[in-house]
Amino acid sequence: MGDAIYSQLAKKIPCRIYAPIGSFHELLPYLIRRLLENGANNSFVHKIAGKDFDIDEILKNSLDFGTQNPPPLPENIYHKWKNSSGFDLGNLWELDRIKNKLRDFADGYWRAFSLIDGEEKIGIKPQITNEPANINRNIGDSSTANENHIAEAVAAAEKGFREWSVTPVEKRAACLEKLADLLEENKFELIPLCMREAGKTLADSIAEVREAADYCRYYAHQARRILVSPQILPGPAGEHNELRLMPRGIFLCISPWNFPLAIFLGQITAAIAAGNSVIAKPAEQTPLISHFTVRLMQKAGIPENVVQLLLGSGEEIGAALVTNPKISGVVFTGSTETARVINSALAAKNGPIVPLIAETGGQNAMIIDSSALLEQTADDIVKSAFGSSGQRCSSLRVAYIQEEIADELMELLRGILADFKVKNTMEFDADCGPVIDVAAQKMLFSYVKEMRKKAKIIFDGEKISTEKNGWFVAPYIFEIGSICELQREIFGPILHVVRFKSKDLDKIIDDINSTDFGLTLGIQTRIETRAEYIASRVNAGNCYVNRTQIGAVVGVQPFGGEKLSGTGFKAGGPNYLLRFLTERTYTANTAAIGGDVNLLG
């Protein structure tokens, strides 16, 4: 059907004829896609069938349109805040450039201390940090805080709060934006630090730095939006009413090792954008990144008493901080069990009810119906379940696959995994690195052993060879009967798959909801109403259709779950700062001091 138009096109612009090649099986969907495309109202094939068409209009070079109407540059796509800068990892020259840059820190050694009012504190026990990917390799050391440090940190943070809370919003926002710039300027040290201390891949480490910078700029934008001016409320003549948002005091920020830079900074930047001071207790697995980052904050102009860093374990340092009466709020990202312990400790303490902003685990499902594009689905499953060694709270744990396509999709998954590389991520072609520590590795191996007895193995991680000098765990896929068989979240590269019949869709939605978690949900379907139907019924904080279910972007996919998975509001969302603030009204009887001048207008 293209002959007529081709004869005209070929005269005016360079043309290419192409012939799709595929098996009989793929023919029908291909033809339908072409029919839909060519039958669309705005298709040129449709237009030339009409009586009045302008051949020049149809033959317009679309490149000219793009040149005349250039899309925004990557840094400007969010309009209201600057997007962080990334790399084109598909570009081999770019990759080579990164490799060279990272070489500067190949023998890096980092030291970490608790930081109180900017001062380095020597703690009780020195702790050596070895690479999880190479346990013989020592990359730094740190010392944990002692009891005295807690009181000192609280005193410094109290002073910090008094000063920072009355610092103009614009100045606080500018400090955060400066911090974002410093993160980007220091990315070639931060990236290898993430790769080596946390065992992250290059792509994941770049994403860490980007997310951290995005948080800085996004919360600076949000602070300006809601804090610069009070909200004027209506009222009768002669009365002036304002709603003011005020910082709360000292926030305790307890962050996890799986996003040692992004979540660590996300919590802190939200708290300080709102005008609070902070005591940060990062995960004991990743002290080096946190120390480095707090130093950057100080370089960015954030006064030293605004953010105190206390290194140590949750049991010792974290627990003592939670019950401290001077703490006005707690932000926690980590396990559901720890969130519960913190919540109980907060409820047991005297004094005001302290807000707890908790972001915890999930038992995340993906529902794949028979209309899904299988190649894309297989790729999204592998990235969602095995990316970052499955060590994201958003990671896919249970893929529900409609029975008609189940065998074929599993075959594709096996195909991708056959070539999956689990190794030291300093080799850039690693698909994933190690898990965080020996405890995690042991737990996962023991789970695999247990599941070998209970479930059908779809992919056996033993097929992938891994080094023995790191905490590596290869991906596994087990087939089970229902998400309800799982007792808890398994934080690692273990995927469960379940076959389902189309008629049982409501049943599996109920099963997913019955876990009482509600973090992420993946949907793969080419039927939009089906996606909407599932999304509206599954209780999950973040729902992703026809893509991976990981990698939420600040301001784009505000992140956070419901029920057992979190308290809200969503990090990186428009309402998050509100939880770090308290509301005050200010009402003045303007008539009492000589009348309401506004009436003259």
CA distances in angstroms from 379 to 415, 468, 547, listed in the order given: 11, 28, 9
Cβ atoms 584, 590 nearer than 8 A: no
- CB closer to its own copies, 321 vs 435: 321
Per CB under 8 A, contacts with its own copies among 478-517 are 516
The distance of closest approach from Cβ of residue 245 to its own copies in the complex, given in angstroms and rounded to an integer, is 9
- Residue 500 corresponds to which amino acid? F
Site string for its own copies, 365-404 (x = CB under 8 A): --------x--x----------------------------
Q: Quick one: which of 229, 313, 323, 344 contacts its own copies (CB under 8 A)?
A: 344
- CB closer to its own copies, 432 vs 531: 531
535 is an interface residue for its own copies by CB under 8 A: yes
Q: Quick one: which of 348, 419, 449, 453 contacts its own copies (CB under 8 A)?
A: 348
* Cα torsion 440, 442, 445, 447: sign: negative
Separation between Cα atoms, residue 141 and residue 449, nearest integer Å: 34
Cβ atoms 498, 337 nearer than 8 A: no
- CB closer to its own copies, 196 vs 217: 217
Per CB under 8 A, contacts with its own copies among 255-274 are none
Q: What string of DSSP letters covers 54-99?
A: -HHHHT--HHHHHHHSPPPPGGGTTSSSPPPP---TT-HHHHHHHH
Element (H, E) at 250: strand 250-254
| Locus of tokens 């996003």 | 259
The interface region with its own copies, picked from 5-13, 302-310, 416-424, 565-573 by CB under 8 A, is 565-573
- CB closer to its own copies, 92 vs 166: 166
Site string for its own copies, 417-456 (x = CB under 8 A): ----------------------------------------
DSSP state of 312: S
Per CB under 8 A, contacts with its own copies among 132-191 are none
Q: Cβ atoms within 10 A of the Cβ of 546, count? A: 15
- CB closer to its own copies, 116 vs 399: 399
- CB closer to its own copies, 31 vs 233: 233
How many residues touch its own copies (CB under 8 A)?
A: 77
320 is an interface residue for its own copies by CB under 8 A: no
Residues β-bridged to residue 242: 232, 586
560 is an interface residue for its own copies by CB under 8 A: yes
The interface region with its own copies, picked from 257-265, 285-293, 302-310, 546-554 by CB under 8 A, is 546-554
Cβ atoms 271, 278 nearer than 8 A: yes
**569: cis peptide before it, omega within 30°?**
yes
The distance of closest approach from Cβ of residue 557 to its own copies in the complex, given in angstroms and rounded to an integer, is 5
Q: Which of 287, 312, 534 is nearest to 402 (CA)?
A: 534
Q: Quick one: which of 19, 28, 63, 600 contacts its own copies (CB under 8 A)?
A: 600
The distance of closest approach from Cβ of residue 535 to its own copies in the complex, given in angstroms and rounded to an integer, is 6
Tokens of 541: 């904080």
Catalytic residue numbers? 359, 393
- CB closer to its own copies, 408 vs 516: 516
Q: Cβ atoms within 10 A of the Cβ of 306, count? A: 28
47 is an interface residue for its own copies by CB under 8 A: no
352 is an interface residue for its own copies by CB under 8 A: yes
- CB closer to its own copies, 241 vs 370: 241
Go through 517-537 and write b for each residue having 16 or more CB atoms within 10 A of its CB, e for each that does not.
bbbbbbbbbeeeebbebbeee
Separation between Cα atoms, residue 215 and residue 194, nearest integer Å: 17
The distance of closest approach from Cβ of residue 581 to its own copies in the complex, given in angstroms and rounded to an integer, is 8
Site string for its own copies, 569-598 (x = CB under 8 A): xx--xxx--x---xxxxxxxx--xxx----
Tokens of 287: 């002290």
Q: Quick one: residue 138, left, alpha or beta (phi over 0 = left, psi -120 to 50 = alpha)?
A: beta
Q: Quick one: which of 196, 392, 499, 563 contacts its own copies (CB under 8 A)?
A: 563
Q: Quick one: which of 20, 25, 28, 42 contacts its own copies (CB under 8 A)?
A: 42
- CB closer to its own copies, 124 vs 347: 347
- Residue 428 corresponds to which amino acid? F
- CA angle, residues 423, 428, 434, in degrees to nearest 5: 25
The distance of closest approach from Cβ of residue 182 to its own copies in the complex, given in angstroms and rounded to an integer, is 25
Q: Quick one: which of 243, 418, 438, 439 contacts its own copies (CB under 8 A)?
A: 243
Using alpha carbons only, how large is the chain's radius of gyration in Å?
A: 27
353 is an interface residue for its own copies by CB under 8 A: yes
564 is an interface residue for its own copies by CB under 8 A: yes
Q: Quick one: which of 234, 429, 449, 468 contacts its own copies (CB under 8 A)?
A: 234
542 is an interface residue for its own copies by CB under 8 A: yes
Strands 494-500 and 396-402, how do they pair?
Answer: parallel
Q: Quick one: which of 101, 111, 526, 530 contacts its own copies (CB under 8 A)?
A: 526
Per CB under 8 A, contacts with its own copies among 61-100 are 71, 77-79
- CB closer to its own copies, 162 vs 299: 162
The distance of closest approach from Cβ of residue 73 to its own copies in the complex, given in angstroms and rounded to an integer, is 12
The interface region with its own copies, picked from 176-184, 290-298, 491-499, 549-557 by CB under 8 A, is 549-557
Q: How would you list the strands of the sheet with 327-333, edge to edge?
A: 119-121, 114-116, 307-309, 277-281, 250-254, 327-333, 356-359
- Residue 186 corresponds to which amino acid? N
Phi and psi angles of residue 16, each rounded to the nearest 5 degrees, phi first: -130, 135
318 is an interface residue for its own copies by CB under 8 A: no
Cβ atoms 526, 422 nearer than 8 A: no
Contacts of 444 (CB under 8 A, 6+ apart): 435, 473, 490, 492, 493, 494
Per CB under 8 A, contacts with its own copies among 15-34 are 33
- CB closer to its own copies, 115 vs 531: 531
Q: Which of 479, 472, 512, 518 is nearest to 493 (CA)?
A: 472
